[in-house]
Structure formats: C-alpha cells, structure tokens
Structure 1
Amino acid sequence: PGLGTSQSLFQSSTPGSMELLAVILFMKLFQRSTPAITLESPDIKYPLRLVDKEIVSHDTRRFRFALPTPQHILGLPIGQHIYLSARIDGNLVVRPYTPVSSDDDKGFVDLVIKVYFKDTHPKFPAGGKMSQYLENMNIGDTIEFRGPNGLLVYQGKGKFAIRPDKKSNPIIKTVKSVGMIAGGTGITPMLQVIRAIMKDPDDHTVCHLLFANQTEKDILLRPELEELRNKHSTRFKLWYTVDRAPEGWLVS
C-alpha cells in the first residue's frame, strides 16, 4: 500500500510540485548530514546532565555529560574552552575547562578534572570549590555549560587564528611546529590541539610537548598521550618532567 501511494503521488505530481518535493528531500538529507550544535551562543548557559563518572586516579575523574540528543555535538572549535557555572554555598562559581572529547563524538562531552580535596594542600585548605562540587554530583544531576570561549582557534594545516583580545579581529599565524608547555590539568587544551593535528594525515605540523607534574602518578592522560606519540612519532614529541622522580626515572 505504501509503494502504491508513493507511485500515485509521483504520477499525479505537476512539475512544480516535483521541484518542491526535490527541495524538501534535499533539505532532509542536509539536516541529517549536519549534526545539531549544542553551544549555539557563548552568552547562553546550557544545562547538561551527568551520565557517567569514571575514577581515573586517586584525585582525577572523567565526567561524561549528555548532550540534548544522541545526534548533537558540542560545537567547540579546536583551541576553545567552555565554562561551568554552579551556585555553591550561595555563591556563583565559574571555572573554565577544556573537554577531552571532540566534535567527532556525538551525544556526549567528556571532562577530565583533577579534584582538589580540602585539607590536602596547606596553601588551599578549603580545596577546589568547583572540582569538589563535581565530585559530589550524582548521576542525573545537571550543571550549566557556556561557550565557546577563548582567543585562539586552530584551523588546521598549521594555521592558528589568534585574537589579541575579545573585540579584535583574529590574526592568522601559520607554523610548521608548535612548542607546548603544560602542567597538571593544563594538559587538556594541549591534547585537544594535538589530537586535531594528528588525526589529519595531511597536516604535517610537528608538536613538541613538555608536560610537568609533581610526581609520576600525577601525569594525567598518560595512556592517551603515549598512544598518540607511538602512532605519530615523527609529528609528536613528548617529554615529561616531575618534581619528585622515582628511582630509575628516565626523563626529566
């Protein structure tokens, strides 16, 4: 019955209606091929739901938040970050984070965050407000995301668009190699750019990363970094340095 209805529809259609039908079909196909973007405006806060929490180490967690639908992407340009905001103890707390997932991932966004617990660092006895808030979130709770934000966008093939300030037009810089220095959780924006470069076989930009931490066990995302280094040894150079090196430590 469905096929007969379709045949009669095409047989009875005028040239004008056929053109309209073709336009509608094209629009449907285009909508399917273009994923919906979550971060439509940097001025809007988007509540996203926590759906998974993974213990990466004694003080590091991977938080996964669901996007509005399984077909949504976050919509974050390479080099940009998001802000999380929450009301904690009656005060609005806002912190910047760079996801470790990308727009290749649909339906979710992942954040790897080091939790600064109270009474563990003498200079910061209260610990980290936002990281402890995230640690205490339950599956199903929501938190507000805002973005994209930042003054730098990696456009591919060694090309960076850099704005001196928010009101300025971007200045385009093209490079053959990039030197990166990161400490602790500062690795996440570096990893975002490194992944984008390495996944493009036509991007010959070379990345040199010096990653500093207090101890070997504090090295975040080490498996991901070393997998990238092993797969792309000519384009990604990785070096560690730690404050307190274990016996037999072969780097800095």
Structure 2
Amino acid sequence: NADAVIFNVQRHIDDPSSPGNLFAKDIESMRAVDPLTVEFALASPNGEFPVAFAAGWTYGMLGIIGSPRAIREAGDDYTRSPVGAGPHRFVEWVEDSRIVLERNENYWQEGKPYLDRIEFRPLSDTESRYASLENGDVDMIFAGYHTELIRAMDNPNLDVYYGPGNGAEWMYFNHQDAPFDDRRMREAVVRAVNLDALSATQFRGRMERADSIFGRDSEYYSPQAAQRWPDYDPERARQLIEEFRADGGDT
C-alpha cells in the first residue's frame, strides 16, 4: 500500500550507499493520498523519476517494495530472510552453493505457479555451467556467451530459447583522449565492423543487427535515429582515418 511505498523509498533516501539514493535524494516530501496513491514533491523536474519505479537495477530498484513489518522484524538479517508476494517463497540460501524457492500456496493467481520448487545454483565458470546442463545436473542455464549458445544448438537433447532484448551490446569510446576525441575516428570504427558477418559467424545469423543504442522493442527506440546510424563501409572508414591523419592526427 501507499505507506509501504513511503517506508521503502525513505530507506533509499536515508542510505547514501543505496542504489536508489541517486533517484530518491531529490524528493522533498512524500504523502499518502489514499491507500493506493503516493504523491511525491521533487526539488526540480526529473523525467527519469517515474521510470525509476518501473525499471530494474540500473534505476536503483525504487519500485521493489518490501514488507515494512518483515524489514523491521528481520533487521540486518532481512537480506537472508526476504518476504514477498510473488509466485514462490524463499526457503534457504547456502552461500556459494544454492538458493531454494518453493511454491507460494497463497499466490493470488489461481493455478500458478506451475513449479513446486526451484533451486538456483551459482555456476560462474562457463565450461562447468554448460557441462552441468549436458549431464542433467541442472534443467536450464542462461547462456551468456555465444560459445554456449552454438554448442546447445548442435545438441539434439537441448532446447534453445532466445529473443530480442530492449537494449544492445555497447562499445564505449573515451572522448577525452586521442584518437577518439575526434568524431571521425569513432565513426571509422563503427563503419569498420561488419555486424552481419559477426552474426553469421558467431551466432548463426540469430543476432539482430543493432542500429541504435536501444533495441527495437524498447519504448525509446527511434526509427529516425536508426536511419542515421552509420552502415558497414570499410572504404569510408579508411577515408575518415586518412582525413584524420592528414590533419595531424595520430592513430
């Protein structure tokens, strides 16, 4: 309810180390208008503030509302005894070994969840993670690398699920130092990378070529901006580098 929202947001305000403090510190006041409505007064206009309640980790998780009673009763041990209203309830956490969840019999949606028990295991090593899947030690893994994805595609005993995201893999340029303080050099690198070939050789053509910093399913995707995205053009990349060098640039 509204009081729980205020309680949780206040925790972000009071803790400078909280990931949500960046987005909550400009709040001047909070007021419960009714049990399901909270009114925030900010020190200045902030278009990101509503997004912070809907987005995840990158926006500080302001929208994740914990039970005030559970937080007070657990104190410093709350992170190891979480309470929620989701489809599964927390059972145990054995550090570096497993996190176990069981079906929440009081879940609001009738007939859900389907799974009675879920066990998460931290398997940070790529090879051992994939081997655990092949051997049947685990039922599912998140394939963070294309090597796992390709191997799984070649295994008739495994099903591979994939789809577009709302973001992209980014490469950052340091605009403060040469040569990437010059726009021509940044454009040259972009034009020198053949994303279609990368998709074909590394992802068997399953990777969608990015033409924006946002994926096409993102609400922030702009077709107009995508049209201005530099195409693969190695000859133009060479020309840009030559122009940069002609002006005294060092590559």
Q: Which has the larger radius of gyration?
A: 2
TM-score, L = length of structure 2: 0.24
User: Between Structure 1 and Structure 2, which shows a larger proportion of strand residues?
Assistant: 1
Q: Which has the higher contact order (CA 8 A, sep 6+)?
A: 1
User: Between Structure 1 and Structure 2, which shows a larger proportion of helix residues?
Assistant: 2
TM-score, L = length of structure 1: 0.24
